[in-house]
Amino acid sequence: MSDEKRLEALRRLLTEAHQKLGLKLGFSLWDGSRVPAEWPADGLGIAIRDAGVVAALLRKPKLDTLLHLHVGDRIAIENGSIFDLAAARPDGKVGRLARGISKAAAFDVVRRFIFAPGTAPQAVEHLQGDEIARDGKPATNKANIAHHYDVSNAFYRLFLDERMVYTCAYFTEDHDDLARAQTDKLEMICRKLRLKPGDKLLDIGCGWGALVCYAAQHYGVEAHGVTLAEEQLKLAQDKVEALGLQDKVTLHLKDFTQMEGEFDKISSIGMFEHVGIRNHPTYFQAVNRLLKPRGLYLHHSISRRAKKTERAFNKMPAEYRALVRYIFPGGELDHLGMSIANLERYGFEVHDVEGWREHYQRTTRLWFERLNANRAQAEAEVGPERTRMWLLYLAGCSLAFERGGALINQTLVSKRRKGPSGLPLTRADLYR
C-alpha cells in the first residue's frame, strides 16, 4: 500500500476532524503537507513525523503510547507548548463533537495504517512504579529517590531558584519572581513552626538544604536534614560549608525511619508523596517517635480529591499512573481526609490546614518556562528525551493544579498531650 494513499486518507480524516471539532490548531505530516492546507507555517500545530505514529496509536491507543511517541520526538507540538495546546481544546465535549466525523473516513485510516510498517515507540528509560517499588524498604526508597533526584544538580539549576528549592513556592501577592516566592515559602514554614533560637529542627527530605540553612541562619535553630539523594546531599554539604553553618546544620544520608533522637519541630515539605499509602503507618509512627511532646510538625504534601469510596479513589487515572511510572517511582498521593485521619490516628492534634493549589500551579508553570528557556543546555546535560519528559511533566502538573485535579496542603499539628497546646490563639503572628 503506497504511502501517498495513507497520507491522503489521513489528510481527509484530519480535515474533517478539524471542521467538526472546531480545532484551533493544525497538523503537519511527514511529507511536509499541512492540514488544513492553508494553515500558517507559524501557527500552533501538531507534527506527525512518520506513518508509524498513526499505526502505533491505532494498535495501542493509550496515553503511554502517546507519551513514548512524544518523548521520542515522533509527535511534537509546533510553535507553542502544552499550555497553548490545552488552551486550544475544542469548545464543548469532544466525544459529542466527534460523533459528526465520518465513520467511513475513520475506517479508511484504520485499514490503511493498522499494518503500516514503522518502528514501534521506544521505551523511555524508567524505573517502573510497581508493587515492588512501594515495599517501603530503605534500599527501595533510596533507589526510587535516586531515579528522580540524582538526575543532575546542573539540570535542576536550569529551572530552580538560586536556593535550589524544589517544592511549592508561596506568592504573597501577584508576581512571578520565583526566588522571592521561595524565600517567602521558607519564611512561612519557619513561622508556622514557631521556630526560636535553640530549637532542634528535623527536615525530612531536606533536598539541597534550603530550609535547614534558612532556619539556622534566620531563626538560630539546630537544624538536621535527612535525605536519600546522594547528589542533593553533596550540594547541600557544600552550601552548609559556604555559609559557615557547620556548627548549626547537620545532614544525614539515611532513611528517615532510621533517625534517632527527639526534635522540637519537624518539617516534611514535599517528601510524603514518595512514601506510598501502605507505608503511611510506618511514616507517621516514625514522626511521632522523633517529635517531643507538644512539638510541632508541618505536613506539606500533594494530594488528590477524595472519591465516594476508597476503592474508587485507589483506581489510578492514566495520567497519574504515567507520573508514578516515569517520574516518581514508588510514589502515591492520598487525599486530605486520609492525611488528617492518619495524623489523628497516630497521636497528633491538627491545628491548621492551608490549601496552596494555586501557588503550585504558578510554581510549576515558572519551572516549565525556565527549563524551556534553557532547553539546549538541558538537552546537553541529560539528553533530549529526558528533557522532553520533564517539560511534559512540569506542564502537566501545572495544568493539573490549575484545574483542581491535583491539590496541595500544609497541615500544622502538634504531638498530642492533655492540656494547652501552647500555640497562639490566632494566626496573626504568621502575617506580621
Which pLDDT belongs to residue 129?
A: 42
Confidence check: pLDDT of 132 > 50: no
Proportion of the chain above pLDDT 70, given as a percent:
89
Confidence check: pLDDT of 67 > 50: yes
Min mean pLDDT across 19-28, 91-100, 168-177 is at: 91-100
Q: Compute the mean pLDDT over every residue in the chain, rounded to the nearest whole number.
A: 89
Residue 138 and residue 252 in contact, taking contact as beta carbons nearer than 8 Å: no
SS in 3 state form for the chain?
CCHHHHHHHHHHHHHHHHHHHCCCCEEECCCCCEECCCCCCCCCEEEECCHHHHHHHHHCCCHHHHHHHHHCCCEEEECCCHHHHHHCCCCCCHHHHHCCCCHHHHHHHHHHHCCCCCCCCCCCCCCCCCCHHHCCCHHHHHHHHHHHHCCCHHHHHCCCCCCCCCCCCCCCCCCCCHHHHHHHHHHHHHHHCCCCCCCEEEEECCCCCHHHHHHHHHHCCEEEEEECCHHHHHHHHHHHHHCCCCCCEEEEECCHHHCCCCEEEEEEECCHHHCCHHHHHHHHHHHHHHEEEEEEEEEEEEECCCCCCHHHHCCCCHHHHHHHHHCCCCCCCECHHHHHHHHHHCCEEEEEEEECHHHHHHHHHHHHHHHHHCHHHHHHHHCHHHHHHHHHHHHHHHHHHHHCCCEEEEEEEEECCCCCCCCCCCCHHHHC
Domain ranges (residues) in the chain: 3-113, 132-431
Min mean pLDDT across 129-143, 160-174, 310-324 is at: 129-143
Cα dihedral 57, 60, 63, 65, rounded to 10, equals -70
Please state the separation of Cα 81 from the chain's center in Å. 18
Amino acid 205 reads G
Cα dihedral 358, 362, 364, 367, rounded to 10, equals -170
Residue 201 and residue 212 in contact, taking contact as beta carbons nearer than 8 Å: yes
* pLDDT tens, position by position, 385-430: 889 989 998 999 999 999 998 999 999 999 999 999 889 999 998 9
- pLDDT category at 63 given cuts 50, 70, 90 is confident
Which pLDDT belongs to residue 144?
A: 52
Q: Minimal CA–CA distance to 48: which of 60, 36, 65, 31?
A: 31
Pairing state of beta strands 407-415 and 348-355? antiparallel
397 is known as an active-site residue = yes
Q: Which one of the listed residues 168, 206, 213, 397 is annotated catalytic?
A: 397
Q: For residue 14, how many other CB atoms are within 10 A of its CB?
A: 21
Q: Minimal CA–CA distance to 259: which of 222, 285, 237?
A: 285
* pLDDT tens, position by position, 30-41: 999 999 999 999
Confidence check: pLDDT of 188 > 60: yes
The pTM of this model reads 0.91
- pLDDT category at 139 given cuts 50, 70, 90 is low
* pLDDT tens, position by position, 236-247: 999 999 999 999
Q: Minimal CA–CA distance to 206: which of 226, 187, 186?
A: 226
Per the omega criterion (within 30 degrees of 0), is the bond before 36 cis? yes
The class that CATH gives domain 132-431 is alpha beta
Which pLDDT belongs to residue 320?
A: 74
d(CA 151, CA 254) in angstroms, rounded, equals 19
| Grid cell 557544600 in the structure block, residue | 238
- pLDDT category at 62 given cuts 50, 70, 90 is confident
Task: Over range 160-171, report the average pLDDT.
Answer: 97
Task: Over range 51-75, report the average pLDDT.
Answer: 90
